[in-house]
Structure 1
Amino acid sequence: MNLLEGKRGLVIGIANGDSIAAGCARAFQKAGAQLAVTYLNEKAKPFVQPVAQEVNAELLLPLDVEDDAQLDALFERIEAEWGQIDFLLHSIAYCPQEDLHGRVTDCSREGFAQAMDISCHSFIRLARKAEPLMKNGGCLLTVSYYGAEKVIDHYNVMGPVKAALEASVRYLAAELGPGGIRVNALSPGPLKTRAASGIAFFDKLIDDAQERAPKRRLVTIDDVGNMAVGLASDYARNVTGNIAFVDAGHNVMA
């Protein structure tokens, strides 16, 4: 079923073909959507471009969310080319290594601020830019993790940062709902992505998820993409402010 036929979406956060955003982009395209895709910088572009070609992206544009001029240019180009968008996926997170690998107690002010800016506030900035282009309503999606809700060993400062992101989802949903814009977060189980490789003892996290999840399996980026399609489609027109777990049931276990 082409659940997204006639819809146009912006995908932010593809690092390579194995990233969560890449899995979502493939699912969006398979469901009939037209896509715009961003890349961080020229160094990252060769890893993103093959995915953009695979999903027939109509636009491939640079975006460093810390650069307001690039953010403005991105949405100006989308407005000029398309006039509107129907959905947006934000799948980016960052924390300096020295802060990510230390205790929350010891996190530096600068590291915490940068992690919060890139991983959380950038979603708010994107929502503000997307709002006037979602003329017929739309869907904003971001990516979280269970460490926002419960303490996960070695997830450290990203736990508070993702908790702020999930709270932002709820407040954005309340504020943008009257305009027909829905806001939800995807919360996948552990996935072997480049971003996740920065977490200490990540292999142990993977093993625990597989052993303790009710389905006794790991999820894939395709699983996350399928959920993203459902949330971006009209079938989810009354679903907003939610955290959608895609983790084979791991989050229900004590």
Structure 2
Amino acid sequence: MVTPLVLPSLEGKRGLVTGIANDQSIAWGCARAFRSLGAELAVTYLNDKARPYVEPLAAEVEASLLLPLDLRVEGQLEAVFAALEERWGKLDFLLHSIAFAPRDDLQGRVTDCSRDGFLQAMDISCWSFIRMAKLAEPLMRDGGALFCMSYYGASMVVEHYNMMGPVKAALESATRYLATELGPQGIRVHAISPGPLKTRAASGLPDFDALLARAEAKAPARALVSIEDVGLATAYLATDAARLITGQTLYIDGGYHIVD
């Protein structure tokens, strides 16, 4: 008799989702998918201005915790993990979906970016993921999964992506090092790299509609990715079915990244 396979599930798992801004956010697509597989969630919001947009979404996924998280505020990240430890005493997965660069630096050439702007982009978009891994490690006594969000511009030059390209490249490299260091504790680490999709952050890129049209025309799947596509793939990687997959940059882009 063939032993039946256990279908992927997040029942009994608890996870932190950061970076939801509205119902178009990639992080929101992931939160819905995590919850649909049975996970209990904690959700963060940037500040009081953002809270009215995030709070109803947190309620929709029945989040146990709704916490402020502005990475520019000293100690706020540590406060989030203190709340997780007090409420749950453990953590099974987390999603880092936060990136920032000052507008003047982001819209100019990499050659011209300021030192302060580059360091701030690295701090918020990359180092904070490393810091989250450090804080999550003692809570992941039974193993777990860490996810960050990258983009094709980390490995290829994408017009108008500018300074975020080197920053995301550093994030992908950090992912591999974290996966190697945390692997013996059963903690997997992945960078998720969606194809271009319409989010609030992406809307600030010049000629973004042209980028979307080009991606749809060139991708082997001839389709644009959705936040639901990203969420479901990420949620699968959070399950025990993916326990031996780690250190990957997972492209969810209809194959766009393989086409010249």
Structures share a fold, TM > 0.5?
yes
Task: Tell me, in whole angstroms, the C-alpha distance in 1 between the residues paired with 2:127 and 2:211.
Answer: 27
Report the CA distance between 1:102 and its aligned residue: 0.5
Q: 1:140 aligns with which of 121, 136, 146?
A: 146
TM-score between both structures, scaled by the size of structure 2: 0.96
- The amino acid of 2:234's aligned partner reads A
Give every structure 1 segment of 4 or more consecutive aligned residues whose post-TM-superposition deviation is greater than 6 Å.
none
CA contact (8 A) 2:12 2:40 kept: yes
Are the counterparts in 1 of residues 8 and 241 from structure 2 also a CA contact under 8 Å?
no
Question: What CA distance in whole angstroms lies between the structure 2 residues aligned with 1:66 and 1:132?
Answer: 24
In 1, the alpha carbon distance for the partners of 2:74 and 2:87 equals 20
Q: Distance in 2 between matches of 1:69 and 1:251?
A: 38
How big is the shift at 1:69?
Answer: 1.5
Deviation, structure 1 residue 73: 1.2
Sequence identity of aligned pairs in percent?
A: 62
Aligned counterparts, 1:105-124, within 5 A: 105-124=111-130
> Of 28, 32, 35, which residue of structure 2 is paired with 1:29?
35
The aligned residue for residue 132 of structure 2 is 126
Matched position secondary structure for 2:158: coil
Q: Could you say which residue in structure 2 is the equivalent of 1:94?
A: 100
- Aligned partner (choices 237, 240, 251) of residue 245 of structure 1: 251
**What is the Cα deviation at residue 2 of structure 1?**
6.1
Which residue number corresponds to residue 3 of structure 2? Answer: none
1:123 maps to amino acid:
F
Q: Which runs of 5+ in 2 are unaligned?
A: 1-6
Q: Which residue of 2 aligns with 1:166?
A: 172
Number of residue equivalences: 254
Report how far residue 3 of structure 1 moved.
Answer: 1.0
Root-mean-square deviation over aligned CA pairs: 0.8
Could you tell me how far 1:67 is from its partner in structure 2? 2.4
* Aligned position for 2:232: 226
Q: Secondary structure at the match of 2:247?
A: coil
| 2:199 alignment partner, one of 193, 199, 207 | 193
Look up the SS of the partner of 2:75 in the other structure: helix
Partner of 2:51: 45
Aligned to 1:68, the other structure's residue is in SS state coil
Match of 1:211 in 2: 217
Letter in 2 for 1:91: S
